[in-house]
Structure 1
Amino acid sequence: MLGVRCSTRVCYVVRCVTMTSPYFMPSRSGISPPGDQDAVCGPAASLRSKLTNNRRNVEPDSSGAVKEVKEEQEEARISEQRPSSAPLSPGGCHPKTEADTLPLSSQSRRRRQLKVEYEEDEGVPAVKTELWEPPDWKKQLGYIREMRSGRDAPVDKMGAEKCYDTEAPAHVRRFQVLVSLMLSSQTKDQVTAAAMQKLRAHGCTVEKILTTDDETLGKLIYPVGFWRTKVKYLKLTSALLQKEFGGDVPDSVEGLVRLPGVGPKMAHLAMDIAWDQVSGIGVDTHVHRISNRLGWLKKPTKTPEETRRALEEWLPRDLWSEINWLLVGFGQQVCLPVNPLCSACLNQHSCPSAHKPSPPKRPKAGPPRSPKPEPKQEVAVKQERTKKEPRPTPVSPAAQRRRPRSLKS
């Protein structure tokens, strides 16, 4: 009996220790059935049901990242309302934490950092930066059109558009336009028109230029500027046109600038006049000068090519063909290189260069000075001078002593 009592007492003690010690607590799943667990752990169940309802009520979003951010914000708000350390529930179970209520996928999403990228709205237009343009250029251009309405400048009567034979075949007309542009460099329109008239009478075709000797060709185009160099360019250009382009003028700026003696200005003008295609602004000395005087450039330019690029940045494309004709005639009649007629210009009140003295004209290079003579030459020159000059007659000392009696005291 004593052994039975001891064993019974020992079992009772062990059972009490097992029931009361937290180290021997059974799993939550074994404490109460699933049906009674929500009743025992009320706060955890309410949290779980609230999160489940929030996930069901949220509409599917086009961006998964935005949906995750909303769920995490709701979870963070609820977790902040709960105390960080909660006591055990009366039923002996611990309150469920957020990690217990969320699935494994949500826990893994909580660990990594989310990068939310917002897509641009298609309906909102992108911000456009305004291009620079001169303040009064439209008003100034209107006045220039008014001053050029007479069309009586040299470019209107003797420009490249007036120098070709209108009855010639199309490829011959294009070649004559190119030749007139090549001759017009550093030459007045009157001289260019006279040279083209003589060339057309002689025969201004690719074949005729190649069969004409340099001396005859030079006499035909004389006195255009740099006529010897232009004779060479005409021969080389005609040979290249016959070899690579079938005797016709190239229909692209890249092909035109390959020709000897043809630059960007001639190429853009040839595209406009010969092919009726606007590829760029033809900037010569008149367009370059007037654009800088009117302040049509963001900053002053030094070369016509810089002026062309600066104008094409802001000038509307539908004005590229007209601007050369307008400014060239305006520069020939009113806005002269030296002593411009500002008092007769309608833009004198808006032009920043109006009534300002024009820069002094550079003096032309005079004839080369003769080199200094060598020492031997200097001696020879002195001897020649002494031979030509009469020598003074020597006076004897006795004659010097004699004086007229009237001079004696």
Structure 2
Amino acid sequence: MSSPYFMQSSAVLTRSSSSSRGAGGGAAASLRSRLSSRRGDVDAAPARRVKVEEATGPEEKPSLTASFSHGCPERLGPITEAEASSPLPRGRRRRQVKVEYDGDDGASRVKTERWEPPDWTKQLGFIRDMRSGRDAPVDSMGAEKCYDAQAPAHVKRFQVLVSLMLSSQTRDQVTGAAMQRLRAHGCTAENIAATDDKKLGELIHPVGFWRNKVKFLKQTSAMLVTEFGGDIPNSVEGLVRLPGVGPKMAHLAMDIAWDRVSGIGVDTHVHRISNRLGWLNKPTKNPEETRKALEEWLPRELWSEINWLLVGFGQQVCLPVGPLCSVCLNQHSCPSAHKCSPAKRPKPGSPRSPGPSRKFKVESERVSDTRRKSAANQNPPD
């Protein structure tokens, strides 16, 4: 017979006849019953689609895919999950079996959506309206305005980097004045490297941490002269190698000096405002965490604009202490609106500090008022 079940049963009969020849008809009857019951199980089993992928060597075919169903003549029934996961005999190639059930609607596949803050486009539009005047200190004294427009291209790029290094923890007004003195002195990598520390300190004082910045400027200028011919590196990796240059300065230098957007420049203003507006999936503790969190959802075409917008907004409206929420257009959507900044305790000896002399003066005035009132009560006017 040509039936695959009969072919398999003849093999079983041959093996069983060698062990017990006298069983004869009893063995055949039991075999038919087993085949009948197995055929019923096959008909009742749900349809499955099995993909078999074999690992191949470098000279073999890339993949081998075979599909089995209960009507395939190569075996009695479908491949079950237990058979698919059972180990193969020693010496045979291990196969990777993937079982896919018909009717799978893909409900188990979870589609993750990118998080973004609510109302951020509306809030960004309001910030643009409030910054339309371009009258913040960063607009006239930022790193984009501190270089000599008539200088060669590599000198312009160096001056942009110097202004960014000086601007750390320094107001733009102080940075702009220091850059004017440096440009009058000669703000090139070769000239800064040859200037002694005392003279350089006089030129950049009173920027924040000016002593450390003198050291960083001298070391950076020497590296740029020896390794880059007086120019600055054209990559973030190269810029952060320079002494005193961090990720914020590197990304801003790439944007301003090289006209390449490599990341968001996040300073204290951008860090503070992003947390106040709820533009982060969770609060961050430092500007670098804020940069990574913003880059996860903020469209890349806004990376260059966001620093300029938020820095000026933080200088005029969203101040570090005592923000002007009453004039902010985002006061109805900002989760931090109208929340008072933590009050600072006055320093001892300041006019607001209740020192011993002030306490004594207040107490003396109180005693004098009490005495005057008591005297007036004892001697009423005629």
Measured against the shorter chain, the TM-score band is: 0.5 to 0.7
Partner of 1:135: 118
User: Following the alignment from structure 2 to structure 1, what is the Cα–Cα distance between the partners of residues 310 and 303?
Assistant: 11
Partner of 1:281: 264
C-alpha change, 1:305 and 1:245, in structure 2 (3 Å) is: same
In the alignment, does 2:349 pair up with 1:349? no
> Which of 147, 154, 160 is residue 171 of structure 1 equivalent to?
154
In the alignment, does 2:87 pair up with 1:117? no
User: Following the alignment from structure 1 to structure 2, what is the Cα–Cα distance between the partners of residues 253 and 362?
Assistant: 41
Moved more, 314-323 or 173-182: 314-323
SS at match of 1:70: coil
In the alignment, does 2:221 pair up with 1:251? no
User: Following the alignment from structure 2 to structure 1, what is the Cα–Cα distance between the partners of residues 79 and 268?
Assistant: 71
C-alpha change, 1:160 and 1:66, in structure 2 (3 Å) is: same
Cα drift, residue 285 of structure 1 = 0.8
SS at match of 1:162: coil
> Which of 39, 55, 75 is residue 106 of structure 1 equivalent to?
75
Q: Report how many aligned residue pairs link the two structures.
A: 291
Which residue identity does 2:98 align to in structure 1?
Answer: E
In the alignment, does 2:314 pair up with 1:331? yes
Partner of 2:71: 71
> Which of 130, 153, 156 is residue 147 of structure 1 equivalent to?
130
Partner of 2:290: 307
Is the 8 Å Cα contact of residues 50 and 98 (structure 2) preserved in structure 1? no
Cα drift, residue 66 of structure 1 = 7.3
Write out per-residue CA displacement over residues 174-209 of structure 1, whole angstroms, 9 at most, x where no aligned residue.
Answer: 000000000001111111111101111110001111
In the alignment, does 2:211 pair up with 1:241? no
In the alignment, does 2:291 pair up with 1:321? no
Write out per-residue CA displacement over residues 149-195 of structure 1, whole angstroms, 9 at most, x where no aligned residue.
Answer: 11111101110000001111111000000000000011111111111
SS at match of 2:149: coil
Which residue identity does 2:75 align to in structure 1?
Answer: S
Map 1:6-405 onto structure 2 (within 5 A). 68-71=68-71, 106=75, 113-114=83-84, 117=98, 128-361=111-344
C-alpha change, 1:178 and 1:108, in structure 2 (3 Å) is: same
User: Following the alignment from structure 1 to structure 2, what is the Cα–Cα distance between the partners of residues 272 and 193?
Assistant: 19
C-alpha change, 1:130 and 1:24, in structure 2 (3 Å) is: closer
SS at match of 1:69: coil
SS at match of 1:308: helix
Cα drift, residue 130 of structure 1 = 0.8
Cα drift, residue 365 of structure 1 = 9.8
User: Following the alignment from structure 2 to structure 1, what is the Cα–Cα distance between the partners of residues 283 and 210?
Assistant: 32
C-alpha change, 1:146 and 1:69, in structure 2 (3 Å) is: same
Cα drift, residue 70 of structure 1 = 2.5
Cα drift, residue 307 of structure 1 = 1.0
Is the 8 Å Cα contact of residues 147 and 159 (structure 2) preserved in structure 1? yes
Cα drift, residue 310 of structure 1 = 1.2
Normalized per residue, which structure has more helix?
Answer: 1
Which residue identity does 1:106 align to in structure 2?
Answer: R
C-alpha change, 1:67 and 1:251, in structure 2 (3 Å) is: closer
Cα drift, residue 113 of structure 1 = 2.3
Is the 8 Å Cα contact of residues 120 and 279 (structure 2) preserved in structure 1? yes
Which residue identity does 1:269 align to in structure 2?
Answer: L
Which residue identity does 2:71 align to in structure 1?
Answer: E
Which residue identity does 1:191 align to in structure 2?
Answer: V
User: Following the alignment from structure 1 to structure 2, what is the Cα–Cα distance between the partners of residues 252 and 110?
Assistant: 56
Partner of 2:90: none
Cα drift, residue 108 of structure 1 = 11
C-alpha change, 1:365 and 1:238, in structure 2 (3 Å) is: farther
TM-score for both structures, normalised by structure 1:
0.63
SS at match of 2:83: coil
C-alpha change, 1:286 and 1:364, in structure 2 (3 Å) is: farther
C-alpha change, 1:328 and 1:109, in structure 2 (3 Å) is: closer
User: Following the alignment from structure 1 to structure 2, what is the Cα–Cα distance between the partners of residues 210 and 24?
Assistant: 105
SS at match of 1:251: coil
C-alpha change, 1:146 and 1:220, in structure 2 (3 Å) is: same
Which residue identity does 2:83 align to in structure 1?
Answer: Q
Which residue identity does 1:235 align to in structure 2?
Answer: K
Partner of 1:401: none
User: Following the alignment from structure 1 to structure 2, what is the Cα–Cα distance between the partners of residues 166 and 132?
Assistant: 42
Which residue identity does 1:117 align to in structure 2?
Answer: K
Which residue identity does 2:303 align to in structure 1?
Answer: W
TM-score for both structures, normalised by structure 2:
0.67
